[in-house]
Amino acid sequence: MRRTLVSSGVCLALAVVSTGCSRTHKPPRSAAAPAATPAKAAPQPAPAVAAQTAAAEEPGLDALVKTLTTTTDSRTRVVTIDAIADLGQNAKPALEALVTATEDPELRVRWHAARAIGLIGEDASSAVPVLVKLLADPDPIVAAQAAAAIGHIRADEDDDTITADDATRYAAGQEAVAKAIVHSDPRVRRAAIRAIRHFDPAPTVLAPLFAKQLGDADPSVVLPALHTLADMEDVSVPVLVEALKAPQSRYWATIALAEIGAEAAPATAALAQIAAEGEVHERLQAILALAAIGEQAAAAGPALIAAVQSPDKSLRFPAAFALGKVRAADADAALEKVVADEDEVLAATAAWALAQIHRGEKPFAATAEARLRKALTAAEPAVREGAVAGLSDLAAQLGDDEKKKLAATFTGLLTDADPEVGRAAGAALIRLGGVCVDTLRGKLADPAMRTNILEILAGIGPAAKPALDELVKELGDTDAEHASEAAVAIAAIGPEAAAAIPALQRLVADAKAAAGVRYSAAYALGRIGPAAKESAADLRALTESDDDLMATVAVWAALKVAPEDKSLFERAIPLLRRALRAERDVVRLEAAVALGDIGPAAGSAIPILELVAEDDPVKDVRRAAAEAAKKIRP
């Protein structure tokens, strides 16, 4: 199970990026070049004070170029490059100095220089070969910025005025960027995929480029590239549909489409054809992709029905599963034959599929439940895990009494000999929600289960309120990690956990308490919100902590419990900006949301929010950052 909050021992990878708002005379079509997350880099030292001073004085371009070409201080070089970047196309006279800066031994200088070149737009087309060279930089941050810059320059170019020399440069740029889609680092892959879009190739042109890279690369590189493609579904679905036509990329494309899921619905017809006619391994992956698309792939029913009747058992199991996921019409006769199969796992899957197709009809659900419960006793862990997932899917069709019985069954499986079965059981309990809380409360005293129980209660969220008294008691546990997890579970309940405020406040104020416990307690107070306003003074005091993580969590929480207190803004904004580069997804997300809630006063955070909105590896964080930037802009 994934934890949902910073806990003891977690380090934040902080990197402050000081960039100004664009003041271009003619801005590129895209407002900001995405920056790669320097997860392993040292904290970005460009001082905010220096950036503000530079903005206030607004030195002329000649002075900036002179500073850039004469200073030996890397901090000053970065701030100066960013000031040049603010000028956009008007910074063209600085292009030569920026190109020189791309050879700097300091990686921060190189990637800031690449970004600045991209923001000049079409007038920097002569630098495309330099950027192509930077794609091979040993540091992925630099390579990602180079890819982004190539895309920005091409996006700003008017197709009607491209010279022969530029056409040659752009062709080389497109080829180099296409190769980068299978780069070993996800930041470079994302930047490359975004950049190649700016060359505006039709899917029929882009698909062969992708097919060549996917077909030639080592599988260990291809699989991460597919994850990146799937994460950028709006870009990749048309390309992947085309890639299904090429033998060397068909298999990989089906895997990526399966990961995309429902948004890959436009690929249904092509996948159905492969499921019916392809090689066995291609048919198998196409069937799984159709299952992932779900009910929007119902038109593939005939192909799946044919597959479930196949003499090849390797196809019959996924086909039965897919028929249930797409809720295929006219599949009853074929599935009923499979229910009678001597293979109990296959028969249970078919029974589950019928229950999904006939949702709400109790006889089908009862038959499926009985068969899946039997599969829970199988020797193979994968079968037990699948049975848990199947029963979890059926739960929506069961009454509360049946759900409570399921809760007891799943709770017992938390200590299964196979950890994957235990994780599946935990996920199933979270899906059951409030109906399983009483069962979970009764197991909090079990040392073998209590950590898992707390994480599950946190996953259930507000519906876990009936366990609040027990969770408050767990806050006093001598095991700091356990107490921290209890605070996280209270945080997940949110405003309804107001009764826990006194206990949480005591932990926050206790300087002797473990740091992880105080982090989590402060976070919980913030999640409870204005009802915890009495803790504002303690939280404010912690915003001055020498512990950066404590200060960040405290200022975030203080903003939540006292949202009207604008005096917090000055301290909060730089801390939240740094938190946008934290390792933990939830920290970055909460920081973005908090900056958006501050509003126009957080204007200095717009550049980094734009960068996070482009580059963050987590889609929810990207969306939160984009929304925050919109809320902050006047």
Helix 419-432 vs helix 400-412: angle between axes, to the nearest 10 degrees? Answer: 160
Query: How many residues are listed for the chain in this entry?
Result: 634
pLDDT score for 220 = 65
**Residue 133 dihedral angles phi and psi, to the nearest 5°:** -60, -40
Summarised one tens digit per residue, pLDDT across range 125-163 is 999 999 999 999 999 889 999 999 999 999 888 877 889
Per-residue pLDDT at 218: 64
Rounded to 5°, angle at Cα 633 from 629 and 634: 165
> Which amino acid would we find at residue 50?
A
Please report which confidence band the pLDDT of residue 40 belongs to, taking 50, 70 and 90 as the band edges: very low
Query: Regarding predicted confidence, which is higher, 27 or 166?
Result: 166
- How far apart are the C-alpha atoms of 145 and 396, rounded to whole Å? 47
pLDDT, tens digit, 9 for 90 and up, residues 333-392:
999 999 998 888 999 999 999 999 999 899 999 999 999 999 999 999 999 999 999 999
pLDDT of residue 327: 96
pLDDT tens readout for residues 281-306: 999 999 999 999 999 999 999 999 99
Does residue 425 or residue 8 have the better pLDDT? 425
What is the spatial distance between Cα 113 and Cα 627, in angstroms, rounded to a whole number? 27
When pLDDT is cut at 50, 70 and 90, the band that residue 221 belongs to is low
How far apart, in Å, are the Cα atoms of 14 and each of 549, 582, 610? 10, 6, 17
Instruction: State the chain's maximal CA–CA distance in angstroms.
Output: 83
Q: What residue has token string 């810059």?
A: 149
- The structure tokens 């020498």 sit at 546
Residue 26: pLDDT band (50, 70, 90) is: very low
pLDDT at 110: 95
Residue 515 has what DSSP assignment?
Answer: H
Whole-number Å distance between alpha carbons of 622 and 613: 4
**What's residue 215's pLDDT?**
62
429-483 per-position pLDDT tens digit: 999 999 999 999 989 989 889 999 999 999 999 999 999 999 999 999 999 999 9
Phi then psi dihedrals of residue 467, to 5 deg = -95, 10
Q: Select from 481, 504, 574 the least CA-distant residue to 15.
A: 574
Three-class HEC string of 42-62: CCCCCCHHHHHHHHHHCCCHH
Residue 551 is encoded by which pair of tokens?
Answer: 């200060």
Please, what sign has the CA dihedral across residues 197, 199, 200, 206?
negative
Residue 204 has what pLDDT? 63
| pLDDT for the residue 207 | 65
The rounded Cα 173 to chain-centroid distance in angstroms is 28
How far is residue 420 from each of residues 40, 349, 377, 425, 608, measured CA to CA in Å? Answer: 30, 19, 15, 9, 38
Tell me what the mean pLDDT of segment 56-77 comes to: 85
What pLDDT, in 10s, does the model give residues 240-251? 888 888 787 788
By three-state DSSP, how is residue 509 classified? Answer: helix
pTM for this model (two decimals) = 0.71
Of 405, 401, 327, the closest CA to residue 360 belongs to 327
Q: Above 90 in pLDDT, residue 332?
A: yes
**Over 166-234, what HEC string results?**
HHHHHHHHHHHHHHHHHCCCHHHHHHHHHHHHCCCCCHHHHHHHHHHHHHHCCHHHHHHHHHHHHHCHH
Q: Which residue has the higher pLDDT, 223 or 315?
A: 315
Model confidence at 5: pLDDT above 90: no
Given this model, what pLDDT does residue 352 score?
96
Rounded to whole angstroms, the Cα distance separating 598 from 566 reads: 8
pLDDT at 37 over 60: no
* Listed residue (81, 97, 4) closest to 44, CA to CA: 81
CA torsion sign for 592, 581, 570, 7 is: positive
Q: What is the pLDDT of residue 25?
A: 33
Which pLDDT band holds residue 32 (cuts at 50, 70, 90)? Answer: very low
Residues whose CB falls within 8 Å of the CB of residue 247, separated by 6 or more in sequence, listed in order = none
* pLDDT score for 217: 58
Helix (H) or strand (E) holding 144: helix 140-156
* pLDDT for the residue 285: 94
Of the candidate ranges 45-59, 473-487, 503-517, the one whose mean pLDDT is the lowest: 45-59
Unique residue bearing structure tokens 């034959």: 337
Domain extents in the chain:
331-428
The token pair at 103 is 């050879």
| Mean confidence (pLDDT) of the chain | 85
CA distance 524 to 491: 4
Least confident range from 21-25, 211-215, 218-222, 614-618: namely 21-25
Give pLDDT, residue 183: 82
d(CA 81, CA 141): 16
